[in-house]
Amino acid sequence: MLGSHFLQLENVHVSRVKNKNKSHLIEMTFSNALAQSMAPIKYSRILQTIIPQHQLNTRNFEDVKGCDEAKQELKEVVEFLKNPEKFSNLGGKLPKGVLLVGPPGTGKTLLARAVAEAAKQRAPCVIFIDEIDSVGAKRTNSVLHPYANQTINQLLSEMDGFHQNAGVIVLGATNRRDDLDQALLRPGRFDVEVVVSTPDFSGRKEIITLYLSKILHDEIDLDILARGTSGFTGADLENMINQAALRAAIDGAETVTMKHLETARDKVLMGPERKARLPDEEANLITAYHEEDLHWVILLTYRRKERYHVTKQQLLAMMDTMMGGRAAEELIFGADKITSGASSDLKQATSIATHMVKDWGMSEKVGLRTIEVSKGMFPSETLGPNTVEAVDAEIKRILNDSYERAKAILRKHAKEHKALAEALLKYETLDAEDIKAIMKETQ
Residues annotated as catalytic are 291
CA distance 41 to 5: 8
DSSP state of 227: H
Structural element, H or E, at residue 171: strand 168-174
- At 111, which amino acid appears? L
Q: Pick left, alpha or beta for residue 115 (phi over 0 → left; psi -120 to 50 → alpha; otherwise beta).
A: alpha
Question: How would DSSP label each residue in 112-138?
Answer: HHHHHHHTTTT-SEEEEETTGGGTSBP
CA distance 44 to 5: 11
| 399 in Cβ contact with 392 (< 8 Å) | no
**Between β-strands 97-101 and 192-195, what pairing exists: parallel, antiparallel or unpaired?**
parallel
- At 183, which amino acid appears? A
CA distance 156 to 206: 38
Side-chain half-sphere CA neighbours of 356 within 13 A: 27
Taking only Cα atoms into account, the Rg of the chain, rounded to an integer number of angstroms, comes to 27
Closest CA to 170 of 143, 137, 136: 136
Other Cβ atoms closer than 10 A to 197: 16
CA distance 263 to 245: 11
| 77 in Cβ contact with 115 (< 8 Å) | yes
3-state secondary structure 343-407: HHHHHHHHHHHHHHHHCCCCCCCCCCCCCCCCCCCCCCCCCCHHHHHHHHHHHHHHHHHHHHHHH
CA distance 431 to 440: 15
- At 320, which amino acid appears? D
Residues 6+ apart with CB under 8 A from 215: 241, 244, 245, 256
